[in-house]
Chain A
């Protein structure tokens, strides 16, 4: 249940006005947007920075992978100023909680495309996956294992056969196989956490 923070009348009015603008950009209703803004306000008086956001991701959404949490922040932070303002906050959470499949696909792709050139290349895949295999005692070179896996993935995803995965390739793959949306790392929260957050924040007492 959302707790309404202590606000004076002016601040409250300001937030209400903001919510009127912002809710149209998101999947939330105005009321929900307002509640989100209250939450935002409750967290910080100014803006949310990276550290705070990563803490939030961990506490509220159960994410643990620092590398990707970082990337999530970057994805949220559209203007790349190192802070999340209210608009970015609302938009980002809208995608998290209520995003359509297409939106999520785009979001994930933007995270996985490390150099933002519109393609995911082998090197980028390697960079993301290199720490995912536990070194077996019998194996000499764990990197070999990852490289082979990347080959398999590339074969699966690269529909236009240009040795890199474009957004379209990625979309086609994920639409066929939903589980691959987070193929390179966890960047979306699990359902149960979303539900919990929604129950806590988006419903008035």
Chain B
């Protein structure tokens, strides 16, 4: 494979990692809540898309939108009813609660839909190859790169240029100070949580082509999503973006050249990086 196609392949899987993980980064940064169930929302999104396309005959893009809305709404219910009780709890309780939630989601999907891998049928205009002038490449991967880039620009603008984003940044930096200034961090968190879970759902659907979709999805990719967030830094949209691209490309290259145990290097790198900079590559040292 030539370097450009390797780069494009890695970038497209990095975009998927970014779309799924960005919500996790913001919610963990806001509340310090260790949410191991985030991948579960991505999986649920994927299943909503599969079911909506199969039973209601929805086409791909409306199904994505539906998954966003459904999962975001569902996550708000969970957040208000259950997550909110554990904000002040110890990490251990949060870990247990979210692992339990993953088990419940996995079992519910297995019972309701079945244990087999699901395939999301892409519409015709996303299949095949696109001529880039100097080379041709899979249309879908290119579309992922475009969507991911647009998304990071939108999120960056939302974070850096709106009052709402400023509030989130303030709360991530110093929650108590933000609260003293009259920012309702709880409300902020609910909205960020819904948005993040909805984005994860979209990522689960968009990434089904690359990551697959089956009931074990949340546990299998848990470490990957966490590494992206930890490397990118908590509550940092651009940090998560670059971390996701870095890990996506690295993973693609390593799997290509060292199919056996290539992921070893990713874990080793992540480990060393976290020991060197616990706040992540792009994160700022917390106060």
A binds B: no
Which residues of B does A touch, CB under 8 Å? Answer: none
